[in-house]
Amino acid sequence: MRKKHEKKNKIGIWVIILIVVLMLTSTIGYVFKGGSKEKYNDFSFSRTDDGRWYTKINGRQMSFSYFPAELESINLSSEIIDKIRSTRMIYFTHDPENRYSGDIALLKEIFWPYFQIYADNGLTLNNTFNLPVIDCDNATTTLPVIYFKESNQTGFYLDNNCIICELRSGEDFTALKERLLYSLFGVME
């Protein structure tokens, strides 16, 4: 009888050791995993191991490359955001040589489903792409133009009804785009 009792004690000790090891390894894994959680204004963000930030906006899970605080240095006034929000259509334009032309073309795909703003693309010069020639002279109160251009600074400014989006050479277009989207979604001011 004594051997059975000693055997049960040894099994019990091993079970306890196994449970402690599992608890320790799961705690260590949680503490040292690549993901993290952050808050910005009233939004909760989760960062995944791939470096992307996720948050829920208007009931939709959204993915971003930058955390909002990383983009605070990019100038974007509330007047510009109000101008975009108050329109039903907007033009995106850029010089044909702009190296971000593909990214700019894709940006228009976001505006209708998320903001119910029809967006179309143009170019500032005659072109072979069958795109209209659009520049700041075409901007009106009801049809603003967002002109993406390379510059020696990064930020946004308003010139009458034309929103100039300047991007310093070598800067990341994604940062500029996400700064604009965060403001339109109400994550940033």
172-179's contacts with Cβ under 8 Å and 24+ in sequence apart are 173/100, 173/103, 173/104, 174/65, 174/66, 174/103, 175/65, 175/66, 175/70, 175/71, 175/74, 176/74, 177/103, 177/107, 178/64, 178/65, 178/66, 178/71, 179/66, 179/71, 179/74, 179/76
The number of distinct structural domains making up the chain is 2
49 part of a folded domain: no
167 part of a folded domain: yes
Shared-domain flag, residues 16 and 82: no
50 part of a folded domain: no
Any idea what DSSP says for residue 114?
H
Quote the domain boundaries for residue 146: 75-185
- Inform me whether the pLDDT recorded for 142 exceeds 50: yes
Shared-domain flag, residues 82 and 162: yes
Task: Take residue 185 and report the two structure tokens written for it.
Answer: 């979604």
Higher-pLDDT residue of 103 and 25 is 103
- Please report which confidence band the pLDDT of residue 27 belongs to, taking 50, 70 and 90 as the band edges: very low
Burial zone of 187 (CB within 10 Å; 0-12 exposed, 13-18 middle, 19+ buried): buried
- Inform me whether the pLDDT recorded for 171 exceeds 90: no
Shared-domain flag, residues 29 and 82: no
- Inform me whether the pLDDT recorded for 114 exceeds 70: yes
C-alpha 102: how far from chain center: 17
Shared-domain flag, residues 120 and 28: no
What residues have CB less than 8 Å from 119, skipping those under 6 apart? 89, 90, 91, 92, 107, 108, 111, 112
pLDDT of 32: 42
- Inform me whether the pLDDT recorded for 177 exceeds 90: yes
Shared-domain flag, residues 26 and 89: no
Shared-domain flag, residues 101 and 162: yes
40 part of a folded domain: no
Shared-domain flag, residues 137 and 84: yes
C-alpha 184: how far from chain center: 11
60 part of a folded domain: no
Residue 66 φ then ψ, to 5° = -115, 145
- Please report which confidence band the pLDDT of residue 168 belongs to, taking 50, 70 and 90 as the band edges: confident
Shared-domain flag, residues 29 and 85: no
45 part of a folded domain: no
Shared-domain flag, residues 175 and 89: yes
pLDDT of 29: 43
pLDDT of 2: 54
pLDDT tens sequence across 73-111: 999 999 999 999 999 999 999 999 888 888 998 999 999
CATH of the domain at 177: 3.40.50
User: Quick one: CA dihedral 137, 140, 145, 150, positive or negative?
Assistant: positive
Separation of alpha carbons 82 and 115, rounded Å? 12
Separation of alpha carbons 73 and 70, rounded Å? 7
- Inform me whether the pLDDT recorded for 174 exceeds 80: yes
Shared-domain flag, residues 27 and 83: no
Separation of alpha carbons 65 and 182, rounded Å? 12
Shared-domain flag, residues 8 and 91: no
pLDDT of 96: 92
pLDDT of 132: 96
148 part of a folded domain: yes
- Inform me whether the pLDDT recorded for 62 exceeds 70: yes
pTM greater than 0.75 (yes/no): yes
Length of the chain (residues):
189
81 part of a folded domain: yes
Shared-domain flag, residues 86 and 162: yes
